Amino acid sequence: MKFLDTAKVYIRSGGGGGGCVSFRREKFVEFGGPDGGDGGRGGDVWAEAVEGLNTLIDFRFQQHFFAKSGQAGMGSQRTGASADDVVLRVPVGTEILDEDGETIIADLTEPGQRVRLAEGGNGGWGNLRFKSSTNRAPRHANPGQPGVERTLWLRLKLIADAGLVGLPNAGKSTFLAAVSNARPKIADYPFTTLVPNLGVVGVDGHEFVMADIPGLIEGASEGRGLGDQFLGHVERSRVLLHLVDGTSEDVATDARTILTELEAYSPLLAEKPRITALNKIDALDEDTIAERRAALEAEIGAPVMAISGVAGTGVQEVLRALWVEIAPSRAPTPDPEAEAAWRP
């Protein structure tokens, strides 16, 4: 399935049905009076977050979503039928933005969460509604309210507990494949990963979701390489795992490149908890590992872990360090009512 994380849609809610002008005419019923019914309500347009979806590919083939209008009122005081609603089913983690692409209308982060994007018009009143002591035979009715038409953007941000960042060929896909059942493409050339990948990682009886995004290069914030278009998918992560290629001649510069691009994209993303790991140590001797690890620690001002995604060296230690950052978000929220019930 092709990955698509941005889509433009055109929506329109249904208009209300018009009220009816009608008079009761039956044998042996004199001066029957008005009996025109109201029009039906137009359909709403909703967006709903559903499980089982991880792409907006469905909106590539259908961009227009128009709800039907309500039925017009009828005689004998019959109200017109209301139209059905239209529901856009989107993946969990979808942001809905206005036409300008910046104003956030809703952020659907939980399964079953719904938001009404366009409200259907009310049906018009029939002439029965206008009957009064001074107007016994009203001959007018209201038209239904028109529907609402909007142009919206859908933007998917994957929900993951941990996000992988690094230069192309830093070993991110290899690491994800080693710790989860995900099977991203792995090859010995840059930009092997073209779309984000998700994997469920297990460590010490706990599970969390890890996201791997295409590698960043210097100038990604200016659109170079694949740009920073996929950084939004690690924006919701609790912690970032920054992998640095240990076989590089200048690991400090490589690390600084990634940190600069994170800061250029979003200061909040750059301030997230981050674990840095020197990867591919299976291809290095002990002296080289110590030298490059020290250079990396001096550059970022924080401890650096040494791992090998292929050999599995240090992988469990990294996963445990990630879980330490993720665990507080998994702690159950205390229930005041339950505590009060058990309190003596």
Q: What does the pLDDT look like over 25-61, one tens digit per residue?
A: 888 877 788 999 999 999 999 999 998 887 888 898 8
309 annotated ligand-binding residue? yes
19 is an annotated ligand-binding site residue: no
- The vertex-287 CA angle with 282 and 293, nearest 5°, equals 75
Mean predicted confidence (pLDDT) in 298-303: 89
Q: Would you state the structure tokens that stand for residue 111, as one six-digit string? A: 């399964």
CB 213 within 8 A of CB 220: no
The burial class, CB within 10 Å (0-12 / 13-18 / 19+), for 255 is: buried
Instruction: Establish whether 171 is an annotated binding residue.
Output: yes
| 187 annotated among ligand-binding-site residues | no
pLDDT at 343: 47
Side chain identity at 334, as an amino acid letter?
A: P
132 is in an annotated binding site: no
Q: Please check if 188 is assigned to a binding site.
A: no
Mean of pLDDT values over 72-79: 93
Nearest to 156 by CA among 212, 110, 96: 96
Is 172 annotated as ligand-binding? yes
Angle at 151 between CA 146 and CA 153, to 5 degrees: 145
Whether 342 has a pLDDT exceeding 60, the answer reads: no
Q: Which two tokens stand for residue 88?
A: 């856009």
32 assigned to a ligand binding site: no
Residue 167 marked ligand-binding: yes
Region of poorest pLDDT, from 5-19, 257-271, 310-324: 257-271
**Does 52 appear as a known binding residue?**
no
Reported pTM: 0.74
What are the boundaries of each domain within the chain? 1-156, 162-330
Is 285 annotated for ligand binding? no
Phi-psi region of 180 (alpha: psi -120 to 50; beta: other; left: phi over 0): beta
Q: Does residue 173 have a known ligand-binding role?
A: yes
Q: Tens digit of pLDDT for each residue in 76-90? A: 999 999 999 999 999
Top CATH class, 162-330: alpha beta
Mean pLDDT of 292-319: 89
- Is 280 annotated as contributing to ligand binding? yes
Is 281 annotated to bind a ligand? Reply is yes
Instruction: Determine whether the annotation assigns residue 279 to a binding site.
Output: yes
Least confident of 11-20, 77-86, 194-203: 194-203
Contact yes or no for 79/41 (Cβ under 8 A): no
Q: Which residue has the higher pLDDT, 1 or 11?
A: 11
Class of domain 1-156: mainly beta
Instruction: Give the dihedral sign, CA 247/252/257/263.
Output: positive
Averaged pLDDT of the chain = 85
Residue 193, annotated as binding a ligand: yes
